[in-house]
């Protein structure tokens, strides 16, 4: 039996983050689910605690950042950000700042939604920023750093992401190809990713672990109580 745990979620209003919050609140292991958000959430729950914050001026109270598991599902697109600087602020600076606050507050487990191809040395700006965040979190030395690298995500987004829609459409057109042949580039259902993250958190494996499609699919199917 797993001891009761607390979760801190960054990115709870997004596609992955909102599903994460739902799963965490439905899981009896998590007695407290704290969310950092710029705006209120639409749902309420006895175990849900929403902290409205200014990410440009994070609060000093360490209790806000303390948790067993930090889930980072925070990000934007170049189109929505409007500039490279703004994109880096959202996808690198904010998550790193929150992670370091959480680490200082005693949080030992960090779970990050990154991206396939993340590499701090990549010539592709998007992949480079994702890789730089991974590298910075590794250098922070959490007890456990679990990185999830999905390809295209399958779910209903509010914003328009043409490249993602094209990728999913191509996948459906060639749906006779098995997932194992597409490998790390297989489009991933949001529920699979979120369930994989929650299960991985409860496994509490130490060190740095990186999960791609096959590993995430396998973990998401486990029943960890």
Residue numbers annotated as active site = 126, 130
Alpha carbons 32 and 114: distance in angstroms, whole number: 25
Give the Cα-Cα-Cα angle 9, 68, 207 (nearest 5 degrees). Answer: 100
Are 120 and 132 in contact by the 8 Å Cβ rule? The answer is yes
Compute the CA torsion angle 121, 95, 217, 221 (nearest 10 deg): 160
Alpha carbons 47 and 26: distance in angstroms, whole number: 10
Are 137 and 112 in contact by the 8 Å Cβ rule? The answer is yes
Q: If DSSP codes are grouped into helix, strand and coil, which group holds residue 104?
A: helix
Can you spell out the DSSP letters for 15-75? HHHHHHHHHHHH-TTEEEEEEEESS--S---TTEEEEE--TTS----GGGT--SEEEE---
């Amino acid at each position: 039996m797993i001891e009761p745990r607390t979760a801190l979620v960054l990115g709870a209003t997004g596609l992955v983050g909102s599903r994460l919050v739902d799963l965490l609140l439905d899981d009896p292991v998590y007695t407290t689910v704290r969310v950092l958000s710029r705006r209120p959430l639409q749902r309420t729950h006895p175990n849900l605690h929403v902290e409205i914050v200014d990410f440009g001026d994070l609060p000093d109270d360490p209790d806000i950042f303390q948790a067993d598991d930090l889930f980072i599902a925070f990000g934007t697109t170049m189109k929505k950000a409007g500039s490279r600087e703004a994109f880096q602020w959202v996808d690198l600076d904010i998550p790193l700042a929150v992670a370091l606050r959480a680490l200082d507050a005693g949080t030992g487990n960090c779970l990050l939604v990154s991206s396939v191809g993340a590499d701090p040395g990549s010539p592709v700006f998007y992949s480079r920023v994702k890789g730089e965040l991974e590298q910075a979190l590794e250098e922070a030395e959490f007890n456990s750093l679990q990185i999830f690298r999905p390809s295209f995500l399958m779910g209903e987004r509010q914003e328009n992401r043409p490249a993602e829609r094209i990728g999913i459409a191509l996948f459906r057109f060639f749906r006779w190809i098995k997932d194992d042949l597409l490998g790390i580039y297989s489009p991933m259902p949001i529920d699979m990713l979120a369930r994989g993250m929650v299960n991985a958190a409860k496994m509490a494996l130490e060190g740095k672990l990186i999960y791609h499609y096959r590993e995430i699919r396998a973990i998401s199917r486990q029943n960890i109580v």
